[in-house]
Structure 1
């Protein structure tokens, strides 16, 4: 099973990351990861996978809460 690749949305960064390379957390605005290189917030949506584990999908911009 391949891991989902995320890309830093900071226009001057754009570094690709695998899920195992980032820390996914909630800072009060839903799930996100901070780019390990530039520190930019990158927002995610979480879904339940077939096995019951969370599956993360990157979203453009800030999610509407």
Structure 2
């Protein structure tokens, strides 16, 4: 579950509700409700699936 970081929004989203992409500042999804950038980090799970974890702020480049 992801939560929009925009304080006035705070909507919660499942992975299936958002599109994760790189807009040049690292992996992120835009909140479908307000458009705020929400950054995520990608991990490869032991079973080979891809897992995303929401992070605060921008990722280090």
TM-score category of the 2 structures, normalised to the smaller one: over 0.9
Moved over 4 A (4+): none
The alignment yields a C-alpha RMSD, in angstroms, of 0.8
The equivalent position to 1:46 in structure 2, one of 42, 46, 55, is: 42
Counterpart of 2:17? 21
The equivalent position to 2:32 in structure 1, one of 30, 36, 43, is: 36
CA deviations over 1:18-55 (Å, ceiling 9, x no partner): 00000111111111100000000000000101222211
Aligned residue pair count? 61
What residue ranges of structure 1 are gaps of 5+ in the alignment? none
